[in-house]
A = this chain, B = another copy of it.
Amino acid sequence: MQTPKQAPYIAAIEAGGTKFNCAIIDSDRNIISTKRIDTTTPEQTLDLVIAFFNEQKLAGFNFEKLGLACFGPLDLNKQSAHYGSITATPKPDWSNTPITSILEAALNCTIFLDTDVNAAALAEYKWGNATNASVAIYITIGTGVGGGVVINGQPLHGLIHPEIGHMIISPPKGIQGVCPFHGNCIEGLAAGRSMAKIWNQPAETLPDDHQAWDIQAQVLASLCHNLLLNFSPEKIILGGGVMNKPGLLENIINYTQESLNGYITLPESLTFADIILLPGLDQHSGLFGAFALTQQQ
Contacts and interface: CB of A to CB of B under 8 A. Distances in A.
A109 interface: no
Interface string A216-228: 0000001001110
Contacts of A230: 162, 164, 167, 226-227, 230-231
Chain A interface residue number, banded: 35 or more
A226 to B, nearest CB: 5
Question: Interface centre among A184, A229, A233, by most B CB within 10 Å?
Answer: A229
B168 A170 contact: yes
Q: Is the interface of A mostly helix, strand, loop or mixed?
A: loop
A261 B180 CA distance: 9
A275 interface: yes
A65 interface: no
Contacts of A271: none
Interface stretch (A18-26, A150-158, A279-287): A150-158
Interface stretch (A51-59, A195-203, A262-270): A262-270
Contacts of A151: 151, 156
- Copies of this chain per assembly: 2
Nearest to A136: B158
A160 interface: yes
Interface in A153-195: 154, 156-171, 181-182, 184
B259 A168 contact: yes
Contacts of A260: 181-182
Nearest to A171: B170
Given A230-B230, A232-B159, A234-B158, A261 B167 contact: no
Contact of A158 (B88, B184, B231, B261): B231
A246 B158 CA distance: 29
Nearest to A184: B170
A77 interface: yes
A85 to B, nearest CB: 11
B265 A87 contact: yes
A274 to B, nearest CB: 10
A159 B276 CA distance: 13
A288 to B, nearest CB: 23
Interface of A: 73, 77, 80, 87-88, 134-135, 151-152, 154, 156-171, 181-182, 184, 222, 225-227, 229-234, 259-267, 270, 275
Given A87-B265, A164-B230, 11 more contacts: A134-B157, A135-B159, A157-B232, A158-B233, A158-B234, A159-B267, A162-B232, A163-B232, A163-B263, A168-B169, A230-B230
12 contacts: A134-B158, A135-B156, A151-B151, A152-B154, A158-B232, A159-B232, A162-B232, A164-B230, A166-B229, A168-B222, A168-B259, A182-B263
